[in-house]
Amino acid sequence: MTMPSRSSDDRILVGAERQTEGFTKARDARRTELIEDYVELVADLMDEHGEARQVDIARRLGVAQPTVAKMLKRLGEEGLVVQRPYRGVFLTEEGQRLAETSRRRHQVVESFLLSLGVSEEVARNDAEGIEHHVSAETLAAFERFVEARAAKRDI
């Protein structure tokens, strides 16, 4: 195993293989980010209205309805949503699981940021991006940190 080397300004340089791994992970996260955002939004709308309508999805995301229609077709092909004629969009069991996982990650990241003293609005907005890129290991560390901090407050 090759150890990272130091550059002339004392930064640690990462080996090419490790750097490639990081870039690949980031690209994969960006691919799934949009899917997770849509599924999470459909779940939110279902909770509020019993179904998610295409017009509501477009309004909340700030995109055109044809953009939503294209994505919903993709989500349907991936088995995450079903569209019913003259009704709205509904999550499949798999879609519901993905929405719950995404919500949970968001909650953990947001709680972590809040525990660091980040304002509620900034924590909510930053968590929206971070949640898609955080590893399970890092997410678990965030959760342990939040729980330990809460336990200290309870003492």
The per-residue pLDDT for range 13-62, each reduced to its tens digit, is: 667 777 666 666 666 656 788 999 999 999 999 999 999 999 999 999 99
CATH 3.20.20.70 fits 16-154, yes or no: no
The pLDDT score that the predictor gives to residue 35 is 93
Residue 2: pLDDT above 60? no
H or E segment and range at residue 13: strand 12-13
Ordered by start, the domain boundaries in the chain are 16-154
Query: Which has the closest alpha carbon to 15: 30, 33, 1, 36?
Result: 1
Q: What DSSP character marks residue 90? A: E
Total-model pTM = 0.75
The per-residue pLDDT for range 80-92, each reduced to its tens digit, is: 999 988 889 999 9
Q: Are 82 and 89 in contact (CB under 8 A)?
A: yes
